[in-house]
């Protein structure tokens, strides 16, 4: 008896449009074409994966090319998470088909059973049936990991004979069907046996004929439950209800998952819980033992995902889901729960209650939210309650610590990323490391408040508080809003304005100088540091790639690292003026030097033409970036502090320089006499002697009239000497640009938003230049900095001054231009203070605060007063290291260095020895050879290390015994005791003026530390005052240096860590230390590249003093560049040597390496041509 006589189609039932078992009458190509079209229609209708599986014929399942035209490379750009998931639909279908075919080839060994009853379920016509079987056979086979148990999602073949091969199914023709288990009935008596009663969905609709007693068999193929979950997640409609953020630890664990299917299962679970779905099982929730916080653990494919509910502030306070990690076992979950519990017990009851609050809309859990006026603190204030025994507390204050661990392992400092961010899915499913791709991470409530503030802003924060992060994210969010506005058609055709949607959703018009439609938001980021500029440029480029869906596009491609030593390469593609900048160049990330060059190029008659002799020009010259050639010129003609100190200061009358410091005098000249607020009002850009002397009467002055007269005498002599030498300083250049702007009309691009980082490194007249390029005064400016880090020579800066400058030179000037009346109640933004530190632990922060307190006391007008930084992570106090008499500290530390795999451990890539200047760096480097990185304090600004050894800071200080003034401060604080000196100097503004700079240098050095700080001095007498001050405040610990302690200081690093550190140092032009890193990493290419770059840099510095040696070094550099395939860099060197044929410019692949053969070479636009001839690259 045939199967059809037992299970016959219903008379009135229409067959499924996707069933295609009769294919013999149509050509195969036509059938496949129809199949694809129907499948596409089904997917567009969000049909189930089961329906698509049921639509496959046996021929389809065996067809390896069924989805060949669809299973292609996943696109690189997506509009949404759902769009991204949708791109994996066809690969998932093909994987399902492949697994189904594979299981059909082993049906002879698969579990099977005999059907004893079949009942159709209501509603009829849905192909749902209740089935009972007699027993299961082949339960223990090699096709399963253990005895078979029937589960929802199991796929079976149903036939009236037991098929063992694919050919058996082919013989049966259409007389077989697929069954998918939808529900398994529970039977208490079955215990460990697999179920015999269950519900299924069939691929065909049929009616049951009970009068015929023919056997039916079910043969197990595979379980598609994971595929179904993934498919549902891929085709979820609408946006997520919850915001889901995942941690760095989750990202690392997720990247280690080997199976693509497993990754998709995890992501599908995250999308399901983001939609508000919650499992009904009771064992999902974990209630913490010490706190009442609730955690949830979700199981997926044998893994456990741990999540909590948190509260974040945006326009309102709202619940979010935090995913902490994905772990393979419950033991790991328990350890993580314990760590989190120790944090949550520091939470207030009110905050925990908000996290536990649940809101339901039907069966869906939705996040609760509260108005921004909500005032529920996260952490308990233990200063007004009894401190529990498990709280860590310093005796020097009432600060409590939430977490005790190394900074790098901190759960509180760990970054989190939003699952819904554009491009995040690409990163999760790619082979790249998340750290390399610089994912956009979540910011704190304090940072978010600053980012969302929609008016011009002043941001202050000490080192490590996230100032640059705030600026970058502020810029990025405006880019995002602008892009969305463009996509939604917010731009009027033919209009010269664009709608800026501010955070409060008010659309505002911002004018543009362009006569065409605005196609890009014109944003400008400026900082003094080339290293920071490069880093931010890379970060913004990556963020833009995520905004585009995760794919780096041409407009946001990164700079070639091998060209970073060349400033022309860093700013390749950026014009030399602000005239008609291509939209693809925005947002602009510039150094302040590059900004000055572009301003100079935007106006007529360059400042530098006065220094050039046109008669010396030959007929041909390499066409290079104008600003780069000007930069080369600056190095030969500009008077910076080093040149002022070495070439000018010794030539001044000793009666004038007596009791004055070269650094202070240079600062007064650049920042006050020629660059201060008063100088900007003078017609010649310089304060008169009388006006400068009157500054001594101000409250902020620490110089009396007599000293100011001497400084002004030195200034006048300096100006004469400078003119005679044909030299200039940056104040001359800046003042000339101001004069030209007063005479000429600016025709360059109107910038919409300007972000100035490390603003403390700029003088007032330099900051004022930004008003010429941006008229969006009300909301277009962000100034960020920290006066505790003002160690740039020639700069005297206070935020009070910049706010005064902004009001008078930006706001009022803008109103006068627009003929608007001044409003009496008009105010500018208050200063935003960032107080949460993300770099270090509290032991380091307390030492930093002690340095700031000294600045507050001795130099109150040199630093802005801020609230102390906070960090909830405990760490050990910095260590003062003492050694025996005549003992060499480095011999003790590195003399007994152990060997690991043939290499000495020494210090690792995340450890550094900091010294005061280049001479000390050279001495120490020669002493320890290549066992540690050695940097100066200026070298390390902008860098951070796990461990820092600060060497001989006080012993090499120009203050010498003047550090004893610390005892005067301690006396005022009533901190002296009988063991401390009784006689010491009192503070004198003039005598101790250098102390301000020294304290700021010390602050920068200490703030480079993330974990361990060691301080060693070889002259105790000079360091005792500061050491006694720190000991009295219980901020340091004291250790005797011995072999055991020396070994504990050393940490080995992997080749990857050494290479990463080397690249950072290479970016900072510290080629010698970079070369050492690459040598330890075993990277020959980067080592040779660093060697060549170092030779080229040395040649550049000695080209005037020793041109013969400079040429020798440049030639060696050229040969190395050539040997490692850096032909462009080699060509530049050969050209500068005058070896034009070898340079072979015409064959160069770079556009900027062509010969300059233009008839207008001597015109205004080619000032770079003339400068280049006087200053080889």
Q: Which residues pair with 1155 in a beta bridge?
A: 622
Give dist(CA 771, CA 813) in Å, integer: 9
Q: Would you tell me how many other CB atoms lie within 10 Å of the CB of residue 616?
A: 9
CA angle 106, 107, 112 (to 5 degrees): 140
Name residues whose C-beta falls within 8 Å of residue 752's C-beta, 6 or more positions apart in sequence.
500, 510, 512, 521, 522, 523, 774, 776, 780
Annotate 955-965 with b (16+ C-beta within 10 A) or e (fewer): bbbebeebbbb
326: which strand partners?
A: 305
From CA 571, how far away is CA 20, in angstroms rounded?
Answer: 61
Tokens 């001495």 locate to 923
Which neighbouring-strand residues pair with 458?
A: 783, 831
Contact 329, 322 (CB under 8 A): no
Q: Are 1137 and 1116 in contact (CB under 8 A)?
A: no
Which of 330, 325, 345, 246 lies closest to 283 in space, CA to CA? 330
CA–CA distances in Å: residue 963 to residues 165, 854, 937, 966, 1023: 91, 12, 19, 6, 8
User: For 836, which DSSP code?
Assistant: B
Task: Tell me how far apart the alpha carbons of residues 153 and 156 are, in angstroms, rounded to a whole number.
Answer: 10
Task: Report whether 392 contacts 871 (CB < 8 A).
Answer: no
875 is in an annotated binding site: no
- Distance (Å, whole) CA 400 – CA 483: 44
1151 labelled binding-site residue: no
**Could you tell me the two tokens for 286?**
């974990």
φ/ψ of residue 515, rounded to 5: -85, -5
DSSP state of 798: -
| Residues contacting 384, CB < 8 A, separation 6+ | none
Q: Determine the Cα–Cα distance for residues 529 and 261; give it in Å rounded to an integer.
A: 46
CB 67 within 8 A of CB 29: no
How would you label 757-782 residue by residue, b for 16+ Cβ within 10 Å and e otherwise? Answer: bbbbbbbbbbbbbbbbbbbbbbbbbb
Q: Check whether 647 is labelled as a binding-site residue.
A: no
Nearest-CA neighbor of 854 among 760, 1017, 975? 975
Structure tokens at 201: 């969905």
Task: Assess contact for 404 and 871: CB atoms under 8 A.
Answer: no
Q: Which residues pair with 306 in a beta bridge?
A: 297, 325
Instruction: Give the dihedral sign, CA 986/990/994/996.
Output: positive
Query: CB of 600 within 8 A of CB of 579?
Result: no
Is 1165 annotated among the ligand-binding residues? Answer: no
Q: Is 350 annotated as a binding residue?
A: no
To 10 degrees, what angle do helices 965-972 and 1020-1032 make?
20
Q: From CA 597, how far away is CA 631, in angstroms rounded?
A: 8
Do 152 and 184 touch, CB atoms closer than 8 A?
yes
| Residue 772 tokens, joined | 């010429």
Alpha-carbon gap, residue 622 to 1172, rounded angstroms: 8
The CA distance from 398 to 383, in Å, is 6
Phi and psi at residue 134, in whole multiples of 5°? -80, -50
Handedness of CA 834, 836, 837, 842 (dihedral sign): positive
461 annotated among ligand-binding-site residues: yes
Name all contacts of 486-493 with Cβ < 8 Å and 24+ positions apart.
Answer: 491/517, 491/518, 493/517
Which residues sit in the known binding site for ATP? 461-468
Which residues sit in the known binding site? 461-468
């Amino acid at each position: 008896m045939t199967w059809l006589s037992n299970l016959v189609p219903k008379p009135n039932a229409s067959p499924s449009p996707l069933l295609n078992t009769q294919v013999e009458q149509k050509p195969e190509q036509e059938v496949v074409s129809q199949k694809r079209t129907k499948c596409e229609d089904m997917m567009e209708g969000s049909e189930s994966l089961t329906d698509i599986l049921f639509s496959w014929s046996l021929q389809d399942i065996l067809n390896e090319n069924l989805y060949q035209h669809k299973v292609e490379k996943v696109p690189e750009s997506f509009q949404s998470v759902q769009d991204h998931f949708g791109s994996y639909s066809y690969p998932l279908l093909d994987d399902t088909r492949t697994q189904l075919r594979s299981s059909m080839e082993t049906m002879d060994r698969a579990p099977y059973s005999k059907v004893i009853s079949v009942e159709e379920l209501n509603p009829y016509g849905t192909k749902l049936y209740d089935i009972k079987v007699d027993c299961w056979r082949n339960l223990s086979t090699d096709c399963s990991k253990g005895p078979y148990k029937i589960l929802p999602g199991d796929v079976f073949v149903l036939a009236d004979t037991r098929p063992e091969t694919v050919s058996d199914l082919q013989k049966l023709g259409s007389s077989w069907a697929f069954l998918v288990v939808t529900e398994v009935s529970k039977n208490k008596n079955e215990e460990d046996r697999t179920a015999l009663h269950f519900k299924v969905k069939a691929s065909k609709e049929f009616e049951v004929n009970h009068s015929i007693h023919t056997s039916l068999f079910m043969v197990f193929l595979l379980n598609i439950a994971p595929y179904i979950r993934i498919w549902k997640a891929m085709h979820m409609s609408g946006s997520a209800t919850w915001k889901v953020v995942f941690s760095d630890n989750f990202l690392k664990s997720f990247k280690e998952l080997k199976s693509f299917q497993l990754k998709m299962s995890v992501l599908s679970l995250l999308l399901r819980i983001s939609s508000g779905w919650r499992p009904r099982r009771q064992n999902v929730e974990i209630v913490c033992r010490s706190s009442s916080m609730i955690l949830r653990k979700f199981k997926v494919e044998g893994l456990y995902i741990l999540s909590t509910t948190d509260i974040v502030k945006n326009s309102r306070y709202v619940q979010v889901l935090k995913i902490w990690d994905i772990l393979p076992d419950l033991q790991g979950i328990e350890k993580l729960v314990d760590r989190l519990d120790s944090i949550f017990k520091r939470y207030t009851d009110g905050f925990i209650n908000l996290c536990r609050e649940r809101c339901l809309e039907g069966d869906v859990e939705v996040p609760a939210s509260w108005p921004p006026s909500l005032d529920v603190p996260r952490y308990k204030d233990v200063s007004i309650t009894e401190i529990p025994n498990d709280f860590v507390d310093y005796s020097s204050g009432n600060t409590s610590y939430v977490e005790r661990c190394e900074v790098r392992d901190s759960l509180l400092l760990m970054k989190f990323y939003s699952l819904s961010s554009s491009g995040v899915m690409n990163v999760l499913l790619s082979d790249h490391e998340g750290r390399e791709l610089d994912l956009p991470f979540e910011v704190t409530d304090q940072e978010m408040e600053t980012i969302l503030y929609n008016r011009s802003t002043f941001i202050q924060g000490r080192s490590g508080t996230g100032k640059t992060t705030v600026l970058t994210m502020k810029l990025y969010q405006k880019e995002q809003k602008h892009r969305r506005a463009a996509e939604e058609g917010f731009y009027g055709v033919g209009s010269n304005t664009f709608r800026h949607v501010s955070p409060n959703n008010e659309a505002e018009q911002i004018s543009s100088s362009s006569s065409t439609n605005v196609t890009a938001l014109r944003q400008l980021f400026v900082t003094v540091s080339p290293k920071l500029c490069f880093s931010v440029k890379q970060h913004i480029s990556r963020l833009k790639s995520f905004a585009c869906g995760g794919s780096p596009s041409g407009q946001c491609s990164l700079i070639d690292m091998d060209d970073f030593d060349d400033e022309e390469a860093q700013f390749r593609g950026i014009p030399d003026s602000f005239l008609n900048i291509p939209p693809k160049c925005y947002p602009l990330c510039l150094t302040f030097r590059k900004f000055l060059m572009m301003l100079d190029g935007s106006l007529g008659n360059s400042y530098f033409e006065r220094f050039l002799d046109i008669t010396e020009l030959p007929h041909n010259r390499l066409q290079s970036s104008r600003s780069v050639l000007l930069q080369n010129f600056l190095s030969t003609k500009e008077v910076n502090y080093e040149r002022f100190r070495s070439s000018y200061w010794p030539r001044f009358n000793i009666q004038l320089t007596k009791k004055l410091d070269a650094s202070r005098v240079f600062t007064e000249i650049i920042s006050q006499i020629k660059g201060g607020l008063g100088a900007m009002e003078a017609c010649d850009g310089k304060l008169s002697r009388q006006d400068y002397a009157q500054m001594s009467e101000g409250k902020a002055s620490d110089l009396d009239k007599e000293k100011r007269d001497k400084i002004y005498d030195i200034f006048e002599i300096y100006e004469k000497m400078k003119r005679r030498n044909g030299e200039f300083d940056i104040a001359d250049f800046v003042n000339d640009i101001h004069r030209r702007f007063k005479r000429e009309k600016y025709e360059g691009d109107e910038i919409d938003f300007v972000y100035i980082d490390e603003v403390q490194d700029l003088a007032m007249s330099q900051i004022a230049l930004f008003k010429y390029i941006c008229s969006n005064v009300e909301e277009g400016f962000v100034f960020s900095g920290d006066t505790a880090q003002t160690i740039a020579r020639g700069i005297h800066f206070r935020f009070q001054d910049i706010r005064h400058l902004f009001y008078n030179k930006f706001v009022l000037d803008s109103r006068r231009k627009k003929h608007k009346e001044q409003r009496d109640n008009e105010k500018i933004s208050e200063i935003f203070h960032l107080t949460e530190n993300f770099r270090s632990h509290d032991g380091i922060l307390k030492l930093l605060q002690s340095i700031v307190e000294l600045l507050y006391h001795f130099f109150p007008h040199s630093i802005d007063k801020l609230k102390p930084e906070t960090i909830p992570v405990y760490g050990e106090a910095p260590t003062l290291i003492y050694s025996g008499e005549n003992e060499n500290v480095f011999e003790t530390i590195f003399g007994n260095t152990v060997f690991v795999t043939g290499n000495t451990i020494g210090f690792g890539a995340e450890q550094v020895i900091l010294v005061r200047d280049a001479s000390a760096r050279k001495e120490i480097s020669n002493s320890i050879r290549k066992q540690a990185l050695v940097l100066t304090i200026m070298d390390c600004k902008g860098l951070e290390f796990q461990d820092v050894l600060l060497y001989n800071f006080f012993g090499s200080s120009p203050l010498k015994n003047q550090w004893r003034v610390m005892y005067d401060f301690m006396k005022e604080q009533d901190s002296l005791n009988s063991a401390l000196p009784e006689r010491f100097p009192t503070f004198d503004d003039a005598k101790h003026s250098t102390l301000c700079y020294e304290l700021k240098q010390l602050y920068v050095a200490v703030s480079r530390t993330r974990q361990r700080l060691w301080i060693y001095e070889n002259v105790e007498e000079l360091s005792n005052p500061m050491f006694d001050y720190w000991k009295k405040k219980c901020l340091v610990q004291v250790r005797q240096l011995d072999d055991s302690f020396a070994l504990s200081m050393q940490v080995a690093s992997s080749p990857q860590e050494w290479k990463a550190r080397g690249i950072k140092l290479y970016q900072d032009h510290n080629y010698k230390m970079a070369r050492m890193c690459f040598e330890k990493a075993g990277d020959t290419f980067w080592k040779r590249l660093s060697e060549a770059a170092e030779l080229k840099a040395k040649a550049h510095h000695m080209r005037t003093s020793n041109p013969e040696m400079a040429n020798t070094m440049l030639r060696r550099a050229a040969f190395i560049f050539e040997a490692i395939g850096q032909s462009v860099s080699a060509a530049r060197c050969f050209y500068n040597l005058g070896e034009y044929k070898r340079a072979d410019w015409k064959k160069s692949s770079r556009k900027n390496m062509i010969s300059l053969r233009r008839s207008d070479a001597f015109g205004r636009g080619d000032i770079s041509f003339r400068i280049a001839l006087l200053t080889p690259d």
